Homo-oligomer: A and B are copies of this chain.
Amino acid sequence: MTGSTPPQRRKRQLPTTEELRIWRDYIETAEALGSSLAARLQSESSLSRGDYAVLLALSEAPERRMRSSELAALIGWQRSRLSHHLGRMERRGLIRREECVTDSRGAEVVLAPAGADAFREATIPHLRAVRELFVDALTPGELAAAGEVAAALRRFLAR
């Protein structure tokens, strides 16, 4: 050690108490919201948030099918996470996996009828929950601010 670090320098490296308070508020609130939403989804539809994300992506995909790694990228999951989750969903009959014609390493994930049904039934309750837990809690200005904050964080993270 060649000398002590002056306080000004430390302040540039580490968050202030106030910044830290906001961070904790931010992340804990988002996590609490996430679990509330997951609990409502679970109780109202027998789908988990993960199931819902997968089924939503497949519902919107052309032919209701998608390459496994595209799907992973689209919903932002690690491939191994998706693979495990698809295994569970396949056992429940929500999706099927088929070999890919153009690349025999690849797999295509296909929305199964039971998956489409489950998704359709879950949609309205899920959207209602988003409104009740998130949208209704914020003024229009706060909502817009939330969007800007998320966008800024996302840009920075993807940088």
Within the assembled complex, what's the spacing in Å between the Cα atoms of A127 and B24? 11
> Could you tell me if A15 and B131 are in contact, using CB atoms closer than 8 angstroms?
yes
Proximity bits, A67-78, B CB within 8 Å = 1, else 0:
000000000100
Q: Which residues of B contact A37 (CB under 8 A)?
A: 27
Q: Which residues of B contact A22 (CB under 8 A)?
A: 143-144, 146-147, 150
Q: A14-B131, A21-B147 given; name 17 further pairs at CB < 8 Å.
A: A13-B131, A14-B127, A14-B128, A22-B143, A22-B150, A23-B135, A25-B154, A26-B150, A27-B30, A27-B37, A30-B31, A32-B76, A32-B154, A133-B156, A138-B153, A142-B149, A149-B149
Chain A 57-107 interface residues, beta-carbon cutoff 8 Å to B:
76
A19 contacts the other chain (CB 8 A):
yes
Q: How large is the interface on A (under 10, 10 to 19, 20 to 34, 35 or more residues)?
A: 35 or more
Within the assembled complex, what's the spacing in Å between the Cα atoms of A13 and B135? 11
Q: Which residues of B contact A138 (CB under 8 A)?
A: 149, 152-153
Q: Which residues of B contact A143 (CB under 8 A)?
A: 19, 22
